[in-house]
Structure 1
Amino acid sequence: MRIGTHNVNGIRAALRRGFTDFWADAGADVIALQEVRCQVEDLPAGAFGAYHATWDAGQKAGRNGVAVLTRQAPARVRALDDVAHTVSPDGSPEQVPVTRIVNRDLAAFRDEGRYVEVDLADAPLRVASLYLPKGAAWPYEENSKDKYDRKMRFLRGLARQITASRREAAQDGREFLIMGDFNIAHTKQDLKNWRTNQKSEGFLPEEREWLDGVISPRRMIDVVRNLHPDQDGPYSWWSWRGQAFTNDSGWRIDYHLASPNLARQASAAWSAREDSYDARLSDHCPVIAEYELDGLS
């Protein structure tokens, strides 16, 4: 099964830049999207082709929004709020059960469209799409503590949610995969200019330590790093400004974190970096992996 994640930085803009053609050629079975930035009623007809789209758009116009695209309507949906819904390829609503996630810290973000997860109907797998707050570089940046504290609160809640979802999925005979924009580069291998970013949001020691606590052989595996242990990158985000993309001065902040048994079934993973600046679909490129689900037991 081919599975991808993509922060599209606005689905309507990504559609104009070639989103549909890219994913048609990629042949993914499941796609997690972040920063969709579009209400369902405003989505252009046929935007997702033959996929069923499970969506939490959030309530902030033009901001955030997460989705999971699947070949079949999911068996179940879980979200921070109970407004997430599934639409068929023709845009009509589908009656899929939605369960609200109970999490004290994440409840403060329930109307922001930052987290949704689905149980696949055609595989023993639970898939989540995540858009984590960017945060701020407090105390190195003035007037930034509120943004910093919000991210730290989200991280506390998310760590508990990842553990709960992994365990609940296992009880249901499913593996767990969370993908998306974590807005954290884990190690020096994960951003080009790490020396000058040690006091920047996304590479603060406490953010990296949080990932240390989430990623472990018995909990969740970083699939891309597991398959490319000695490679710098492969990066997934580059600033639109300057020569960052041309010089490959990027950050790896878009992840596939998989339960250990699922991670063992990953045979390939890559960042689908576009060939040129003008061909970019977003400031993030897709991150795709192949999983041999026949090996799950």
Structure 2
Amino acid sequence: MRVISFNTQGIEQAADKGFFDWMAKQDADVVCLQSLRAKEYQLDGDRYHPEGYHAYFFDAFEDGFSGVAIYTRHVPKAVMTGLGFEQCDFNGRFIQADFDKFSISSFTIPSGLKSDEAQAAKIEYLELFMGHLKKTLRKRRDFIFTGTLNIAHKPVDLSNWYVNQRVSGFLAEERAWIEEVFGDLDYVDAFRQVNKAERQYTWWPDYNRAWKLNEGARLDYQITTPNLRKTIKSASIYKDQQFSEHAPLIVDYDLGF
């Protein structure tokens, strides 16, 4: 089973840059998209509905905000949207598709780069999302969470990490949060489970120089429950084309529907 996760930073812009043409060639079972910045009714054309995929969306209430989607070749048993708190549900930040043996979600955590207020909102969001992750471990099924955490886990996941220790995305409290997820809770960073290479980033600042020099951060993840650890077979980041400031994250699992 192949799962692709990608932060579009505007699905219409990503489509203009060829994302769906690329996606059609990847033989993915599930594609999880984030930061659509468009509403479902605006995406009813063929360009947003590749042949062979069922598409499910969760819109933000306000125009220009996040919005998430799941494209799947297999019809889910159920689709859940939202997590029950305003920061998530008002801004369209979580959608989950339930299949027979597992569930897959598409999510975003807000960025804290704009201001102190934005960072405080991010920390509040992380605390609420942590509560959901803890509750998930009590359920009798496996989960794959895909999306943008807006946190680099370790120095290897961020270029120029030393000078960025006081910047949102690599603050001590943020790294403590993600360390609890992959440490105490025993969730699995699917990419790092099988790919130990250095300078593996999924986001670069909005200028071509950072992309070309590969000066970025790994802010996008596929996170699995502990039972799926041994099913992760390969993981890569697609960087040959630039569809947004983020790059698609591709993970292959030894799982069937």
Please classify the TM superposition score into its range, dividing by the shorter chain length.
over 0.9
Letter paired with 2:27: G
Distance apart, 1:218 and its partner CA: 5.5
Deviations 1:20-65 (A, max 9, x none): 1111111110011001111111115121312111211111202211
Q: Quote the residue 2:142 is aligned against.
A: 175
Does residue 1:15 correspond to 2:4, yes or no? no
- 2:220 pairs with one of 247, 254, 258: 254
Residues 1:109 and 2:53 are matched in the alignment? no
Residue 173 of structure 2: aligned partner: 206
C-alpha contact (below 8 Å) 2:88/2:94 kept by paired residues: no
- Give the structure 2 partner of residue 92 of structure 1: none
With 71-80 and 203-212 compared, the bigger mean Cα shift is at: 71-80
Q: Which residue of 2 aligns with 1:141?
A: none
Q: Do 2:199 and 2:214's aligned partners in 1 also have CA atoms closer than 8 Å?
A: no
RMSD: 1.8
Matched, 1:135 2:112: yes
Aligned-partner Cα distance in 2 for 1:48–1:159: 33
Note the residue ranges of structure 2 that are not aligned, 5 or more in a row. Answer: none
Within 2, Cα distance between the matches of 1:176 and 1:109? Answer: 19
Supply the distance in 2 between the matched residues of 1:52 and 1:107 (Cα, whole angstroms). 27
Kept after mapping to 2: 8 A contact 1:217/1:260: no
Structure with higher RCO (Cα < 8 A, 6+ apart): 2
- Report matched runs for 1:30-45 at 5 Å: 30-45=30-45
Q: CA deviation at 1:211?
A: 0.1
Q: What does residue 73 of structure 1 align with?
A: 75
- What do the CA deviations read for 1:139-191 (whole angstroms, capped 9, x no partner)? xxxxx3321211111000101111222432xx2xx311101011000100101
What is the aligned partner in structure 1 of residue 49 from structure 2? Answer: 48
**What does residue range 225-240 of structure 1 map to in structure 2 within 5 Å?**
225-229=192-196, 231-240=197-206
The letter of the residue matching 2:230 is R
Q: Is the aligned partner of 1:161 residue 2:138? A: no
Given the alignment of the two structures, is residue 287 of structure 1 paired with residue 249 of structure 2, yes or no?
Answer: yes
Which amino acid counterpart does residue 43 of structure 1 have in structure 2? L
**Which amino acid in 1 is paired with 2:216?**
G
Amino acid at match of 2:22: F
1:140 aligned partner: none
Same amino acid, percent of matched pairs: 31
TM-score normalized with structure 1 length: 0.81
User: Which AA in structure 1 matches 2:76?
Assistant: P
The structural deviation recorded for 1:242 is 4.8
Name the CA distance, whole Å, in 2 between partners of 1:11 and 1:149: 27
CA contact (8 A) 2:233 2:251 kept: yes
- Aligned residues between the structures: 255
Report if aligned partners of 2:195, 2:234 keep a CA contact under 8 Å in 1: no
Amino acid at match of 2:65: R
